[in-house]
Amino acid sequence: MAPMGIRLSPLGMAVFCLLGLGVLYHLYSGFLAGRFAFFMLGEPAAGGPDPPRGSAGTVDLRELLAVSVLAASRGGEEVKRVREGNVLNAKAKGKTREGAEEQLTSGDLLSNRRMFYLLKAAFPAVQINSEERVDTADQETVSWDRSIPEDIKQKIQPKEVPAESVTVWIDPLDATQEYTEDLRQYVTTMVCVAVDGKPVIGVIHKPFSAYTAWAMVDGGSNVKARSSYNEKTPRIIVSRSHAGKVEQVARQTFGNKTVIIPAGGAGYKVLALLDVAEKNQEEADVYIHVTYIKKWDICAGNAVLRALGGHMTTLTGEEISYTGSDGNEGGLIASININHKALIEKLPDLEKTSHK
């Protein structure tokens, strides 16, 4: 007999035990299931997508580089498809400060849509600035499987930064004027990642040859700088429309043997400073732009040069910040493996030209 005259029936004992087992199951089933799944599945399969890194408030720059390379390539596919199908639907979207007509094509718009929504889907918390307006009514669902190319895995280590410090600049079609003229070698698609206003990731993709250059500051790159620089006959690459403005000052500074290379597209001009295995890529020692230019045109090239030890500054030597307004007022001068400060001191008159 139990104390105080209470009898415990077999049925009561059974109910009590079942209730206890139910509580234990509820508490530990999730934990046990998780451990069992870890035991059964083990590590991710070799070559499969990496799991996402970082918390909701951070982004991994290696992942952001990988999706930027993919975005530039996907945008380039649209650019190439439109050009080869000759369905540009070109129209004027306004005038530059110099009075030249700016062109807008289907290639610009379709590339922009593909690039913007791929980046936005992968990193929704990151600010993205693009040359073309994003039409929310024409939204495209684009996903990223989070896989990272092997060359990026081998050269770049994961690096997390606060999402709020990141700004992505995309140029869905650089050299639109040349694109309408079918000067395909000048055309690029570009993505740049700036952290606290400093360009740290740059991707420059040439759609018609499928060549892609990428680099990450304090990380690695798949492209190298050219080491040669002939001081007696320097080669200066400039915009086709600015060649006359630069030529006179450049020849006065470096001598009559200075070579002026007119070219289209800021991305193409930066690649001219690098060791690029491209048959349609000219080579230059210095890139100069003497007028106002948009930041999505130059951010990617600036990041690539910084990663390789080069420089891109205003004509007075100031660093360009990739926050705030989308324009750079002070022109630019870019070089690599050259004394950049001495180069600026040789060209004092170009800064005056940048405001005309």
Please name every residue paired with 204 in a beta bridge, in sequence order, or none if there are none: 190, 213
Which residues touch 261 (CB under 8 Å, ≥6 apart)? 235, 236, 237, 238, 272, 282, 284
Tokens 């062109």, residue located: 103
pTM of the shown model = 0.82
In this predicted structure, what is the pLDDT of residue 351? 54
Question: What is the fold of 225-346?
Answer: D-Maltodextrin-Binding Protein; domain 2 (3.40.190)
Q: Look up 176 and say whether it is catalytic.
A: yes
Q: Where are the alpha helices (DSSP H) in the chain?
A: 10-41, 61-85, 106-122, 150-155, 176-180, 243-254, 266-271, 295-307, 340-346, 350-353
The answer to whether the annotation marks 174 as part of a ligand binding site is yes
Chain centroid to CA 355: how far?
28
Kindly provide the b/e burial profile for residues 128-144, where b requires at least 16 CB atoms within 10 angstroms of the residue's own CB: bbbbbeeeeeeeeebeb
CB-CB contact of 168 with 203 (8 Å):
no
Angle between helices 106-122 and 61-85 (to 10 degrees): 160
Q: Which of 273, 266, 337 is nearest to 296 (CA)?
A: 266
CATH 3.40.190.80 positions along the chain are: 225-346
Q: Please give the full DSSP string across 19-64, using - where no structure is assigned.
A: HHHHHHHHHHHHHHHHHHHHHHH-SPPTTSPPPP-S-TTEEEHHHH
CATH 3.30.540.10 positions along the chain are: 58-222
In this predicted structure, what is the pLDDT of residue 237? 95
Among 105, 167, 176, 189, the active-site one is 176
CB-CB contact of 191 with 68 (8 Å):
yes
Tokens 């209470």, residue located: 6
In this predicted structure, what is the pLDDT of residue 76? 98
DSSP E strand boundaries for 184-242 = 188-195, 198-206, 211-216, 220-221, 224-225, 235-239
Q: Look up 50 and say whether it is catalytic.
A: no
Task: Evaluate the CA torsion angle 198, 200, 205, 211 in order and state its sign.
Answer: positive
Question: At CA 325, angle to CA 124 and CA 62, rounded to 5?
Answer: 40
Among 105, 108, 285, 313, the active-site one is 108
Give pLDDT tens digits along the chain (356 positions): 444 444 556 655 655 555 555 544 444 444 344 443 333 333 344 445 555 565 569 999 999 999 999 999 999 999 999 999 999 999 887 655 555 678 899 999 999 999 999 999 999 999 999 988 877 667 777 778 899 999 999 999 999 999 999 999 999 999 999 999 999 999 999 999 999 999 999 999 999 999 999 999 999 999 999 876 777 788 999 999 888 878 887 787 778 888 999 999 999 999 999 999 888 899 999 999 988 999 999 999 999 999 999 999 999 999 999 998 999 998 999 999 999 998 888 876 665 554 44
Q: Two tokens at 176?
A: 């639109």
The answer to whether the annotation marks 349 as part of a ligand binding site is no
In this predicted structure, what is the pLDDT of residue 40? 36
The answer to whether the annotation marks 138 as part of a ligand binding site is no
CB-CB contact of 234 with 285 (8 Å):
yes
The answer to whether the annotation marks 18 as part of a ligand binding site is no
CATH class assigned to 58-222: alpha beta
The answer to whether the annotation marks 131 as part of a ligand binding site is yes
Please tell me the distance from the alpha carbon of residue 296 to that of residue 294, in angstroms, as a whole number: 6
CB-CB contact of 249 with 236 (8 Å):
no
In this predicted structure, what is the pLDDT of residue 250? 78
Phi and psi for 71 in degrees, rounded to 5?
-65, -45
